[in-house]
Structure 1
């Protein structure tokens, strides 16, 4: 399965009582797909995967698949304890997802052989095209990724959330040397646009875009500029929008998710707040975000 374009990571809406708001999710996904992403990644980091129980997760994936209506692929996040990850992978397949994103097994530090076994077992449970996410405790060696790519037919991609370019380049070269099957690498750092010029320097052109969830106009303008070689527009968007957004994001742990939700609310769709341990941004920061969106839209429309 070939991924291309901007990858859309929708938020998971909650109602005022904190329950999953499926109609709002359907609207959020439908509006996002209409804007033209390359794929939808539901119930992943931006979608508060960590905060959903099995029944909620199943409903999120089902709603995303229905709202997308086959227009682009839908990938679902899976991870956590191995039995849970396998259960979620099977649930995603049953609900019609097109692929899986294997999230890191946070706070568990095992040897690389154990991490490889974990990914193998999750991929086998879902029997779907699977992307491996390198982030946190999930740090892979070049040989480990090459082994997974060569020996597990449905492992089709690698999402990098570390930003270690030396390691990533060695992973890419080792995988390309080991197997000729199609295998996709993409930038999965928070606010990935900020680092895309560097990733493109080592041949990684695909990236996830949290900004697409609340300002697809800005996200698509950046994608057009960075893929079309419009360095002036890339610089204006990075300087005027993405850099101050990252500076705002870094003020509070978890803002990489809660600011996205706040952005969706600012654009007119009430998706509720985040679940603990995340916190919603304070009013002062919401006002800053609102101003940044205005600036970003102005730049995107020039």
Structure 2
């Protein structure tokens, strides 16, 4: 078992203020089998950039495509590579029964906390959303961060109930509804953690910060920590000209490219990592790798972004 709940909360809060949150990619061979050595090299490179925390086997890490043995390997490798330097928050999800199975594996592997991804398929009432977390929390000692996205969206009243669950320490938001999010932050108790989990979160980082949610996850960090780090530093320093140039010349075009094909939010990230020689391999079905034309556009955009921060492809 990893750190106690209060320590995890504190270390995550401190990490969120100090650096980008890393969501590493899961490495596969060309035949689709897991590549543990490739993942070990990738996560070690991510950790070398001093992220605020590392979140293996989450959405960017294709949690939905992993079996339990693969998940165990991914979390175990991450914990060993992190070696206590930063918190390790593993993904879990589906219904609470399956989420519990993954939670037990994460606990055995030494993870410090869990990011609870949206449950599978069905729409549910608020009572059910709260019960989902209650059922999981009753079956794992690990601290939990709820993730509202897709069919999961909490009301302020539900969030108050969620925050009373002893080992639920925070909420990651992927809806980008700032009116709702402001109401949630006001409803939460002091010390409850909030994360900006929007796709390509840098695009909305300034807006999220205005409602009290400055911390964000960065998919760009998985392939260009130089760009992600430069943006984070400029944002925190109030260097608006740098922020806006990166947004205008890199992040907005990246979102436009991402929106061409469903699933590109992960596929493009992996493709960009491969362009930089990272051993991450292809995506697994139902995702597909970018077309040759989109890959060429990605290469040009990546070159532009790296030039902006003085790095090279």
TM-score, normalised by the number of residues in structure 2: 0.93
**Aligned match of 1:133:** 147
Q: Which residue of 1 aligns with 2:288?
A: 279
Determine the structure 2 residue equivalent to 1:233: 242
User: What SS is found at the alignment partner of 1:276?
Assistant: coil
Mapping of residues 138-287 of structure 1, within 5 Å:
138-149=152-163, 151-175=164-188, 179-180=189-190, 182-287=191-296
Q: CA deviation at 1:299?
A: 1.2
Matches of 2:197 and 2:137 in 1, distance apart?
A: 19
Displacement of 1:34 in angstroms is 0.4
3-state DSSP of counterpart to 2:216: strand
| Contact persistence 2:169–2:192 (CA under 8 A) | yes
Are 2:20 and 1:6 aligned?
yes
Taking the TM superposition and a 5 Å limit, the aligned residue runs for 1:6-155 are 6-149=20-163, 151-155=164-168
SS class of match (2:119): coil
Q: CA deviation at 1:128?
A: 1.1
> Aligned residues, how many?
297
Q: Structure 1 residue 201: deviation in Å?
A: 1.2
The 1-side partners of 2:305 and 2:101 are apart by 41
Moved over 4 A (4+): none
Task: Answer yes or no: is the 8 Å Cα contact 1:40–1:73 preserved in 2.
Answer: yes
Aligned-residue CA RMSD (Å): 1.1
1:261-301, Cα deviation, whole Å (9 max, x unpaired): 10110111231111111111011111111111111111123
